[in-house]
A and B are shown apart, each in its own frame.
Chain A
Amino acid sequence: MADLSIVFAGIKAPNPFWLASAPPTDKAYNVVRAYEAGWGGVVWKTLGEDPAAVNVSSRYSAHFGPNREVMGINNIELITDRSLEINLREITQVKKDWPDRALIVSLMVPCEEESWKFILPLVEATGADGIELNFGCPHGMPERGMGAAVGQVPEYVEMVTRWCKTYCSLPVIVKLTPNITDVRLSARAAHRGGADAVSLINTINSITSVDLERMVALPMVGSQSTHGGYCGSAVKPIALNMVAEIARDPLTKGLPICGIGGIGSWRDAAEFIALGCGAVQVCTAAMLHGFRIVDEMKDGLSRWMDSQGYTSLDDFSGRAVGNTTDWKYLDINYQVIAKIDQDACIGCGRCHIACEDTSHQAISSLKQADGTHRYEVIEDECVGCNLCQITCPVEACIEMVPHNNGLPFLDWNHDPRNPYCVAS
């Protein structure tokens, strides 16, 4: 079986599956259960200055799919609501008992040098492997000048990172907020500040739904609500893009990335790793199913790596980065055309109506003698948009087949139709 062990930003772990800083890593009891279940590492739920934060009830709400599958969870829980002393004592003991697992401590204190100078030696003394700076919490804490309020200002990110590198010898991972316009600016700031790695994404500002009877958004605290942070499989596409943006940014080249955002399966993890991550963090999937999910994640990833001939994560980490580029470098002459496998088609007509109403009228509906319909692609009209394939309920029934039109590779920079075309 492939070797899943990693060394990420100098931190060793038996596998790349870490639990993100969140309720599952709130205290020794949970963390020990996670280690027992086989997680490679844990980011301890964010520590802050005493007095500890106070939480409200209720705290979570969800965005459900049609079958009540959870697409995403929104939370309004703050950082740890236990004292610094208890957390530090538990961290020390847990690290002592589980020396082979990664234990990172998430931190969030006011944006003042003294505050960091005070807490960093205490954390280092626990024997923890590294620290993660929580610059991303989008609810509650920013109102107090912390969390995303720091992460949204690159200058603050750089400043605090530098303080941490100054007052602490542990690897520093800077956790980034997605609630910005260009995540590269935050990553560059962390890099300038001396960060050993970045982790992303933290949760996204969200309201999941509204109780239309009571006219209150969810989650409800009495008769009120507030926005929370969104996580779970629904945020994965956003996280993947932000990871890729950083991975292919020349200004942060080589900066280790820990992927976070909707990871619930080995395949999700492999995708983050392919886009440049050296480790991943999981939270929502564990909150929905328990720590046992790591079994299938480890097993699936190893077997897939075996099937691909990869012996370690390094063999494929970042492999998809080079193929991720700007729109202007795409081959404008490349063409795919939908092809419907008539034997696999179940005749639902979804491809037809989607194309007919909202795309390019490229799928005809032919009524058959027996009253059923046959759906056929009008190749000349098909622009290769993939919508029919997406709407088809049968996997692999519609294939997007590359069409050899005999035209050479041509990107927009060199396309004569571009008024700003670069003469070739």
Chain B
Amino acid sequence: MIKSLNHLPHPHENAQVLASHFTDLAPPLNARQAVLESSRCLYCYDAPCVNACPSEIDIPSFIRNIQQENVQGAAHTILSANILGGSCARVCPTEVLCQQACVRNNSQECAPVLIGLLQRYAVDHAQFSEHPFTRAAPTGKRIAVVGAGPAGLACAHRLALHGHEVVIFEARAKSGGLNEYGIAKYKLVDDFAQREVDFVLEIGGIEVRHGQRLGDNLTLSELHQQFDSVFLGLGLAASRLLGLPHEDAPGLLAATDYIRELRQSDDLTQLPLAERCIVLGAGNTAIDMAVQMARLGAREVNLVYRRGLEDMGATGHEQDIAKANQVRLMTWAQPQELLLDEQGRVRGMRFARTRLEDGRLVSTGETFELAADAVFKAIGQTFDDAALGDPLAQKLKRVGDRIEVDEQLRTSVPGVYAGGDCTSLGQDLTVQAVQHGKLAAEAMHAQLMLDQEAA
């Protein structure tokens, strides 16, 4: 259990009630709803939804397949572009991607086609007698993939498809990355993340080695020597610091640590409950944290952000989820001081009110205090520098702390590719990570085959 929150009580509700607070936020469509919804699709040409999908799924085609009762065909279309189409259907912010672009989202139409739910319907209901993709003849090439998150899994699957042998090195005990450890429980319920991993690995030719952490018991130099090519899908393992005194005080925790604990918990009644809590941040992780604490039974959840609602990373849809769960969104306030009780535990936080002055965020001089049993940081993730400590890894060009890649996901070190959150592309969605993995695999494959021809 989370040590820094050991002093907190547990949720008051029983296990059954708590479990009911963490079922699907957006319930799946049944067969009738899926057919009804699919009939709303206009089967656009050069469809705006496809252009808006980072993984370039042929959305009109898969929806037409659903309409024609060809669920397997629909799922195949989705998975051939995005092997993690099942989790993306659940976690994608469709309101700013495909569904925002949907022509039925036009002001003169009623509402966008529910593309995300239709995608989920197709992937959930497809029944393949065997893995739907067949591997090409063995190439004899071996490729190392670091990180079994969405980017690494997508990369490994595509490489295996092309006939390469892949070894995935994963630091944690389970594969799946943020799908397993980092997404709000009500968005990705039960063991879906693991079932999806099993499905991806079904293709064959992929070995996953757990407990392998770059910079700990693994170095890029070794991988570079032992494998024909390397893909880095490291994610961003470290949470940003507030830069305030007492950052290690009991009661202060990274939201990602708590969410990981919650997702892995078999018994929600044993989780620490912060009756009054503060969540710092403005992204989807902040919302996920705040809403989940509210659903565990917290009486008072304040989400505090130093700028305005329109600047928040969380979409309007996410903000609505927070409001619907009685989370108070407080803007224009930044942490000034962590307030501790006699035992040195968090008892609240003092904030400075902020405003914009000539485009710069400044303090107004006014402050206020909020009482809290716990404060959760969701102010962003950062690179775990230990991961890239060896001499070869240090040669990787960086942009800020991220690894620089080009449009083919190549790093500055030949043969080393990278994708997902750890790269300089500034994209942080699961679906973008999947696309990076896929594109990197294609680039690696093309390069390896070119090298082979030349040899």
Contact = CB atoms under 8 A, between A and B. Distances in A.
Interface in B39-74: 39, 42-48, 51, 67
A369 to B, nearest CB: 13
Contacts of A353: 45-46
Contacts of A371: 48, 51
Contact of B44 (A344, A349, A394): A349
B33 interface: no
Contact of A350 (B39, B43, B108): B43
A33 interface: no
Given A67-B36, A371-B51, A349 B67 contact: no
Interface string B76-96: 000000000000000000000
Nearest to B38: A66
Interface string B9-53: 000000000000000000000000001100100111111100100
Contact of B45 (A66, A352, A372, A393): A352
A348 B39 contact: no
B295 interface: no
Contacts, number: 41
B194 interface: no
B394 interface: no
Interface string A42-74: 000000000000000000000000111000000
A68 to B, nearest CB: 8
Interface in A359-390: 365, 371-373
B151 interface: no
Given A346-B103, A348-B103, A393 B108 contact: no
Contacts of A346: 103-104, 106, 108-109
A21 B48 CA distance: 50
A416 interface: no
Given A365-B46, A371-B51, A66 B39 contact: yes
Given A349-B44, A350-B44, 6 more contacts: A344-B108, A347-B103, A348-B44, A349-B46, A365-B45, A373-B46
Interface of A: 66-68, 344, 346-350, 352-353, 365, 371-373, 393-394
Contacts of A348: 42, 44-45, 47, 103
Specify which of A346, A350, A365, A393 lies most central, judged by the most chain B CB atoms within 10 Å of its CB: A346
A346 B102 CA distance: 9
Interface string B427-455: 00000000000000000000000000000
B355 to A, nearest CB: 32
Interface in B158-216: none
A352 B35 CA distance: 26
Given A371-B51, A372-B48, A394-B108, A350 B42 contact: yes
A365 B229 CA distance: 42
B45 A350 contact: yes
Contacts of A352: 45-46
Contacts of A365: 45-46
Nearest to A393: B42
17 contacts: A67-B35, A344-B108, A346-B106, A347-B44, A347-B48, A347-B103, A347-B106, A348-B42, A349-B44, A349-B46, A349-B47, A350-B43, A350-B44, A350-B45, A352-B46, A353-B45, A365-B46
A159 B67 CA distance: 51
Nearest to A353: B45
Contacts of B108: 344, 346, 394
A7 B35 CA distance: 47
Contacts of B67: 66
A67 B39 contact: yes
A68 B45 CA distance: 24
A350 B41 CA distance: 12
A379 to B, nearest CB: 21
A349 B46 CA distance: 7
Contacts of B35: 67-68
Nearest to A372: B48
Interface in B87-129: 103-104, 106, 108-109
B104 A349 contact: no
Contacts of A349: 44-47
Contacts of B48: 347, 371-372
Contacts of A372: 48
A57 B35 CA distance: 29
Nearest to B67: A66
A346 B41 CA distance: 13
Nearest to A356: B45
Nearest to B109: A346
A68 B38 CA distance: 12
A67 B67 CA distance: 9
Contacts of B109: 346
B387 to A, nearest CB: 36
Contacts of A344: 108
B152 to A, nearest CB: 29
Closest 3 CB pairs of A and B: A349-B45, A353-B45, A348-B44
Nearest to B105: A346
A344 B103 CA distance: 11
B69 to A, nearest CB: 11
Nearest to A347: B103
A346 B48 CA distance: 10
A346 B40 CA distance: 14
B63 to A, nearest CB: 11
Contacts of A373: 46
Nearest to A349: B45
Nearest to A67: B39
Contacts of B51: 371
B47 to A, nearest CB: 7
B58 to A, nearest CB: 14
Nearest to A354: B45
A353 B67 CA distance: 21
A373 B101 CA distance: 12
A212 to B, nearest CB: 11
